[in-house]
Structure 1
Amino acid sequence: MGLVDEIKAMIADKREIYQTLSEQVWSFAELRFGEVKSAEVLSRALEQEGFTVERGVAGLKTGFIGSYGEGKPVIAFLGEFDALAGLSQKSDTAVHDPIVPNGNGHGCGHNLLGVGSLAAAFAAKSYMIKHQLKGTVRYYGCPAEESGNGKAYMAREGYFNDVDAAFSWHPESINAVQHLSSNAVIEARFTFTGVSAHAAALPELGRSALDAVELMNVGVNYLREHMADQARVHYAVTNTGGVSPNVVQSFAEERFLVRSPKPNEVKELFKRVVNVAKGAALMTGTSMSYQIEGGCCNLIPNTALHQVMAEYMEEIGLPEPSEQDLAFIKSIYASLGDQEKYFAMKHLTAEQKEKINEKPISDWMIPCPDQETFMEGSTDVSDVSWNVPTAQCFTATWAYATVPHTWQVVAQGTQDYALNAALFAGAAMACTALKAVEEPELLAEATREFKKRLEGETYECLIPKEITPPVY
């Protein structure tokens, strides 16, 4: 029995454990830095498997690391388990039906992500014991990927300094290695303080913080013409200062996400956004303060590891949905809008479009490209990739054209086909990691490429040292 067959058997043997864990995390649906129950069930599972678990790492209440073995190489699997606000949704239904109105839901599939990586760690550990391989297997329990950047705090505090290679994955509607770069991002909260007054009787005495927020937004809109095409700036007004229009609002607040392809570029763009905020305060006679709340670098892909991972994904073989699975997949696909389908189908060949019309879930592999593509979004896996060679994949966990951060993702989060896709990712990660353990030249090649891609730069976390993770 070869590596692939052994890993598939080891993962299949514990499928019930992974299903239970995934469904538990799905039901908890905890938000960033508050994933207390999710972190605990995953930590206990690691301990029951013989891993030593360190809780509360890097000042993260819900951050943890499970370790098995000793010495080099050190192989890391990255797990996530945070949910999203406002996406509560019942499973087993293809109509929008929240469990709790405005409640939380796993709209990015992180209940599956964490368990798929756990399966990889467990299988790698069992294989290394069976074949008497030296090395250390680690599972990194990483909170707050959606907003908060837990991995960046771990990287800032040096928790990846001795790791030789890291592996992760993400639910999607395609099967492919994530051979891509991404935007770096800085998250910050801007606060304006003014003077309240009666808006009719004595408006001249008031200094409106809400006016400052609105002017900042106008200024940033003008800034958009004069920044790089791939850069992005997003905002949300989090406090308007009140609901009474006859009161000059003395306090207002908003959050900004500033993105650009490189860390030095995002820092410069962020300075310009800060200057816009200063101008808004000057125009309104208010005072402004800001606080960086998160940030992560751009993603550094690794061709050496991704080519091997793509080969293993082909060899393992894509999971095949059952007739019951397919019926639910079709009902989810039917619930999607024409625009979602149009944008997803743009990238397909005529043959693939015909397939999707009959069976709306991806049953093919996208080959590993020669050159990485670009993702306008951001991920805190990036900070890991600045410290160690890192490989990731996507697997078709959802009906084709499903949009992340929607109720349709939540509805599919406990389906058999979704778990099978997560375990497929786990097998691909485990096989790639174990080949790196058994063939030191692969690890050496990945490391050479990693150093070359850095182009002499060294890692600098975009979250200032004085900023500590929030506790919820």
Structure 2
Amino acid sequence: MNKHTILDWLNKNDGIFTSMAQKIWENPQIAYEEEYASELQMQTLNQAGFRITRNIGGAVTAFVAEYGSGKPIIGILGEYDALPGLSQTVSAVHNEVVPNGPGHGCGHNLLGTAGVEAVISVKEVMEAEGITGTIRYYGCPAEEVLSGKTFMAREGVFDDLDCALTWHPSSSNFVVNMSMQSMVSVKYHFKGITAHAAAAPHAGRSALDAVELMNVGANYMREHLLDGSRIHYVITNGGLAPNIVPDQASVWYYLRAATKEQVDDMHVRIEKIARGAALMTETEVSSEILAFAYETLPNDVLNGLMYENMKVAGAPHFNESELKFARELVSTVDKKIVEMSKKQYGGLIEEILPISFDNHKHLKGVSVGGSTDVGDVSWITPVGQIMTTCAPVGVQAHSWQATASYGSSIGFKGMHLAAKTMALSLYDLLMSPELIKQARQEFSKLTAGKPYVPGIPQEVTPPVAASTLV
């Protein structure tokens, strides 16, 4: 059996997985609440002969599906969480399915489904040819809050992997040779004393004042950070009424930088600012880490393999109806944003739905904005990653236009390209131990003297989905 046989199987069965992606798109659920998607995928994988382990790391929507035995052990990473407030129909006008409801504005309905599609196709080959080894699909919740894979990593489920593959929907087809940033998500809670804001202000100690002073300090700190570092915050609790000195106030921070070491340094400094704000206002402060993702470590060996297999799989054909829909979607985006998108990563993209392939070798080692908990896995085992065209150039992720595209045939075609690329690469790795050896040698050089330590404290546990509470 050769690669063309794998592609034939995928082409014959793609309708099954188009349906899965469509169903997940129609039933969007946010981080740690993805019961529909996880159950659908587990059921499909179990029926295909995979062994299922549920409730990984305390997350009820996290699971591992496994087929085969022995070495090598190769994983494919999947995701399926939606985003709040991005409900949208498949149309080129803003039209919510559910007012302010969740939607798949990052395409995770496609991301996880392609992984399921890939591992089942390779399982069929392993069974037919008697190929030894173990393949796994990792059902990973809550990527959008950057903690699902960290909780799973803390459980040790990635430790015995020889390597892993993944992908993400995008607006072009390329290998992810750039590095995504490390990031910590941390909340600060200030506690003061209530008082009548007019009659007895001297008796109060304002937790809101502490939050505002902390934000002032953080904003002054911006000038003294390494280039590319980012600070974002929102006040999540600012008090109840103007005539009451607030005794409770909270602020939520994201701190990003090129490496976890740099984020660690920022975190230490912001903790000092928080304590200083509490000291100035005679309040108390506590903090809680919600997520702490490592930067991603691209692997040249695996990325090179995926690039070659993406070319073997071949780009999808987008018909005139799809091109028309793409043009209509792009017409709703600011023209400056569209032009900037065409020039992303140093290239100039002319196609509205790109079918060309790029390996982006010039971006090796370059840190780009944005973060993902895939970074954690990439510090445990070598990870290869691609992106494929699932939305028009100019459509931005985390937008209603993205939700519309990822629920359309444009998104499904990009998903099938990703599934084919991962399946072919998975097959190559099973058949070529030398490739795994080379990938691990590169990984060992990158991580030498830097063992992975989960950034989320042991006492922090995954949130419990509201639908599971009794």
TM-score, structure 2 normalization: 0.96
Contact 2:146 2:293 in 1 (8 A): no
| Equivalent residue number for residue 222 of structure 1 | 220
How far 1:2 moved relative to its partner?
3.2
The structure 1 residue matched to 2:429, chosen from 432, 436, 444, is: 436
| Equivalent residue number for residue 381 of structure 2 | 388
How far 1:215 moved relative to its partner?
1.1
Contact 2:70 2:134 in 1 (8 A): yes
| Equivalent residue number for residue 41 of structure 2 | 42
Structure 2 Cα separation of the partners of residues 12 and 445 of structure 1: 31
Please tell me whether residue 315 in structure 1 is matched to residue 312 in structure 2.
Answer: yes
Please tell me whether residue 413 in structure 1 is matched to residue 406 in structure 2.
Answer: yes
**Matched residue of 2:186: which SS?**
strand
The structure 2 residue matched to 1:209, chosen from 207, 219, 226, is: 207
The structure 1 residue matched to 2:272, chosen from 271, 275, 279, is: 275
Structure 2 Cα separation of the partners of residues 236 and 41 of structure 1: 35
Contact 1:188 1:291 in 2 (8 A): yes
The structure 2 residue matched to 1:129, chosen from 127, 130, 134, is: 127
**Matched residue of 2:361: which SS?**
coil
**Matched residue of 2:228: which SS?**
coil
Structure 2 Cα separation of the partners of residues 190 and 275 of structure 1: 12
How far 1:148 moved relative to its partner?
4.2
Aligned-residue CA RMSD in angstroms?
1.5
Structure 2 Cα separation of the partners of residues 349 and 293 of structure 1: 34
How far 1:468 moved relative to its partner?
1.1
How far 1:185 moved relative to its partner?
1.3
| Equivalent residue number for residue 256 of structure 2 | 259
Report which stretch shifted further, 259-268 or 48-57: 259-268
How far 1:392 moved relative to its partner?
0.6
Tell me which amino acid in the other structure corresponds to 2:425. Answer: T
Contact 1:165 1:433 in 2 (8 A): no
Structure 2 Cα separation of the partners of residues 96 and 175 of structure 1: 27
Contact 1:88 1:98 in 2 (8 A): yes
Contact 1:180 1:372 in 2 (8 A): yes
| Equivalent residue number for residue 155 of structure 2 | 157
Gaps of 5+ in 1: none
Contact 1:81 1:143 in 2 (8 A): yes
Please tell me whether residue 168 in structure 1 is matched to residue 163 in structure 2.
Answer: no
Contact 1:177 1:306 in 2 (8 A): yes
| Equivalent residue number for residue 117 of structure 2 | 119
Structure 2 Cα separation of the partners of residues 62 and 261 of structure 1: 30
The correspondence of residues 212-361 of structure 1 with structure 2, limited to 5 A, is 212-242=210-240, 244-347=241-344, 355-356=350-351, 360-361=352-353
The structure 2 residue matched to 1:363, chosen from 346, 349, 355, is: 355
**Matched residue of 2:143: which SS?**
coil
| Equivalent residue number for residue 370 of structure 2 | 377
Contact 1:241 1:249 in 2 (8 A): yes
Tell me which amino acid in the other structure corresponds to 1:270. Answer: H
How far 1:294 moved relative to its partner?
1.1
How far 1:197 moved relative to its partner?
1.3
Contact 1:308 1:432 in 2 (8 A): yes
Query: CA offsets per residue over residues 326-379 of structure 1, 9 Å max, x none?
Result: 1111111111111211211234899x55x43xxx11121113405333222211
How far 1:456 moved relative to its partner?
2.2
**Matched residue of 2:414: which SS?**
helix
Tell me which amino acid in the other structure corresponds to 1:460. Answer: V
How far 1:446 moved relative to its partner?
0.5
Structure 2 Cα separation of the partners of residues 264 and 213 of structure 1: 26
How far 1:35 moved relative to its partner?
0.9
How far 1:11 moved relative to its partner?
1.5
How far 1:182 moved relative to its partner?
2.2
Report which stretch shifted further, 299-308 or 365-374: 365-374
Contact 2:208 2:238 in 1 (8 A): yes
Contact 1:306 1:368 in 2 (8 A): no
Tell me which amino acid in the other structure corresponds to 1:221. Answer: N
Contact 2:233 2:254 in 1 (8 A): yes
| Equivalent residue number for residue 468 of structure 2 | none
Structure 2 Cα separation of the partners of residues 347 and 433 of structure 1: 29
**Matched residue of 2:254: which SS?**
strand
Gaps of 5+ in 2: 466-470
Tell me which amino acid in the other structure corresponds to 1:435. Answer: D
Structure 1 Cα separation of the partners of residues 282 and 345 of structure 2: 54
| Equivalent residue number for residue 138 of structure 2 | 140
The correspondence of residues 69-108 of structure 1 with structure 2, limited to 5 A, is 69-91=68-90, 93-108=91-106
Structure 2 Cα separation of the partners of residues 345 and 294 of structure 1: 32
Query: CA offsets per residue over residues 394-452 of structure 1, 9 Å max, x none?
Result: 00100111111000011112211211111101111111121111111111000100101
Identity %, equivalent residues = 38
Please tell me whether residue 16 in structure 1 is matched to residue 32 in structure 2.
Answer: no
Contact 2:147 2:290 in 1 (8 A): no
Tell me which amino acid in the other structure corresponds to 2:361. Answer: P
Contact 2:192 2:248 in 1 (8 A): yes
Tell me which amino acid in the other structure corresponds to 2:371. Answer: S
Structure 1 residues 72 and 87, CA, compared in 2 at 3 Å: closer, same or farther?
same
**Matched residue of 1:155: which SS?**
helix
**Matched residue of 1:183: which SS?**
strand
**Matched residue of 1:130: which SS?**
helix
Tell me which amino acid in the other structure corresponds to 2:412. Answer: L
Tell me which amino acid in the other structure corresponds to 2:81. Answer: D
Structure 1 Cα separation of the partners of residues 423 and 343 of structure 2: 33
Contact 2:146 2:372 in 1 (8 A): no
Structure 1 residues 204 and 348, CA, compared in 2 at 3 Å: closer, same or farther?
closer
How far 1:203 moved relative to its partner?
1.0
Structure 2 Cα separation of the partners of residues 50 and 275 of structure 1: 53
Contact 1:310 1:368 in 2 (8 A): no
The structure 2 residue matched to 1:461, chosen from 454, 458, 462, is: 454
Contact 2:56 2:155 in 1 (8 A): no
Structure 2 Cα separation of the partners of residues 261 and 349 of structure 1: 19
Please tell me whether residue 425 in structure 1 is matched to residue 407 in structure 2.
Answer: no
TM-score, structure 1 normalization: 0.95
Contact 1:79 1:117 in 2 (8 A): yes
